[in-house]
């Protein structure tokens, strides 16, 4: 029993010492611009000539987060103000992304992006199709 108390006491002393060392370690540190950080300045205001706002959605069909976020973006797109434009842009990191971007731009040029966009997401995430080559896409 006494040994356990001594171990517990030693652990408490060690933990509290480490806590106070960590808590006050940066108190005397002085950060210098140019050495420890770089000032970015003020952001430039970008306004289109006709005062329109552009929301750029960069996405990948294979991205789970993009798939899960898409319903919220659709809702935003339907309820946005008249002066807001939503522009979608597929990201291309490798050949798989390139094929998915080709699907997107083909659907856009054919004028059926509204239907195809959701269907491509569903095919990849719900039907587990990779859509990596033309044979799989046209099935």
Instruction: Give the tokens for residue 129.
Output: 């199709």
Vertex 34: Cα angle to 30 and 40 (nearest 5): 110
Q: What is the pLDDT of residues 55-81, one digit of tens each?
A: 999 999 999 999 999 999 999 999 999
The rounded mean pLDDT for the chain is: 87
Q: Are 121 and 61 in contact (CB under 8 A)?
A: yes
Q: What is the pLDDT of residues 3-22, one digit of tens each?
A: 676 777 777 787 777 666 76
Query: Is 11 part of a structural domain of the chain?
Result: no
CATH number of the domain to which 112 belongs: 3.40.30.10
Q: Residue 96 and residue 112: Cα distance in Å, rounded?
A: 22
**To which residue do tokens 């731009």 refer?**
105
Query: Is 4 part of a structural domain of the chain?
Result: no
pLDDT for the residue numbered 107: 96
pLDDT for the residue numbered 16: 75
The fraction of the chain above a pLDDT of 70, given in percent, is 86
Domain that holds residue 101: 53-137
DSSP output for the chain: -HHHHHHHHHHHHHHHHHHHHHHTTTTT----BTTTB----PPPP---TT--EEEEEEE-TT-HHHHHHHHHHHHHHHHS-TTEEEEEEE--SSHHHHHHHHHHHHHHHHT-HHHHHHHHHHHHHTS-----SHHHHT-
Task: Specify the pairing of strand 53-59 against strand 84-90.
Answer: parallel
Phi/psi at 50 (5° precision): -100, 20
Query: Is 36 part of a structural domain of the chain?
Result: no
Query: Is 121 part of a structural domain of the chain?
Result: yes
Across the range 87-116, mean pLDDT stands at: 94
Please give the tally of structural domains in the chain.
1
Query: Is 101 part of a structural domain of the chain?
Result: yes
pLDDT for the residue numbered 110: 96
Instruction: Give the tokens for residue 94.
Output: 């490798």
């Amino acid at each position: 029993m006494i040994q356990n108390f001594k171990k517990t006491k030693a652990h408490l002393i060690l933990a509290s010492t480490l806590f106070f060392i960590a808590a006050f370690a940066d108190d005397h540190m002085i950060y210098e611009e140019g050495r420890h950080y770089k000032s970015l300045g003020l952001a430039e205001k970008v306004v289109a000539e006709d005062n329109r706002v552009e929301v750029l959605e960069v996405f990948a069909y294979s991205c789970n987060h993009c798939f899960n976020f898409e319903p919220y973006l659709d809702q935003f797109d339907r309820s946005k103000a008249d002066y807001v434009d939503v522009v979608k842009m597929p990201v291309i990191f490798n050949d798989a992304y390139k094929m998915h971007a080709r699907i997107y731009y083909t659907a856009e040029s054919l004028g059926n992006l509204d239907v195809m966009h959701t269907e491509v997401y569903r095919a990849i995430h719900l039907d587990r199709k990779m859509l990596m080559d033309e044979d799989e896409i046209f099935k």
